[in-house]
């Protein structure tokens, strides 16, 4: 149950007295070396190894070369078509087919 204090000074004095009774806790002498060893272990496991870096770089390089080769093939095929003359054989107008009209025509 909470005590009701009459004034602020009494409340502060009570808190100060309660803190004085607390004993200081002693730390294990190996505590800090354990923490340091855990930090060192995490540092060793968090870096990327050189084989991983080489493999990632080689995959990116292969993808880049494939993209360049596809672009080169696409450019060479489009340059072989004469763009100045319209080729009517290759340009066809799609027919508009309306199934409802065909049904009425055939009915």
Q: How many CA atoms lie within 13 A of 61 on its CB side?
A: 6
CA-closest candidate to residue 9, choices 21, 17, 23: 17
Whether the predicted model's global pTM rises above the 0.75 cut: no
The residue segments making up the domain with residue 70 are 48-80
Does a structural domain hold residue 37? Answer: no
Distance, CA of 71 to CA of 77 (rounded, Å): 10
Give CB contacts under 8 A, 24+ apart, made by 4-13.
none
The answer to whether residue 67 sits within a structural domain is yes
- DSSP annotation of 30 reads T
Residue 31 belongs to some domain of the structure = no
Full DSSP string of 23-52:
PPPPPPTTHHHHHHHHHHHHHHHSSPPHHH
Q: For 74-87, how does the pLDDT look when each residue is reduced to its tens digit (9 = 90+)?
A: 766 665 555 555 55
5, 14 contact by CB (below 8 A): yes
Within-domain flag for 57: yes
* pLDDT tens-place string over residues 8-42: 888 888 888 887 777 777 888 888 899 999 888 87
Structural domain count of the chain: 1
Taking only the tens place, the pLDDT of each residue in 38-71 is 888 877 776 777 888 999 999 999 999 999 888 8
């Amino acid at each position: 149950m909470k005590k009701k204090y009459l004034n602020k000074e009494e409340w502060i004095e009570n808190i100060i007295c309660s803190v004085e009774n607390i004993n200081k806790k002693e730390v294990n002498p190996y505590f800090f070396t354990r923490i340091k060893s855990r930090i060192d272990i995490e540092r060793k496991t968090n870096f990327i190894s050189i084989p991983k870096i080489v493999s990632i770089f080689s995959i990116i390089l292969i993808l880049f070369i494939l993209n360049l080769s596809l672009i080169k093939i696409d450019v060479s095929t489009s340059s072989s078509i004469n763009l100045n003359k319209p080729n009517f054989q290759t340009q066809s107008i799609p027919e508009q087919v309306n199934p409802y009209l065909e049904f009425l025509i055939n009915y």
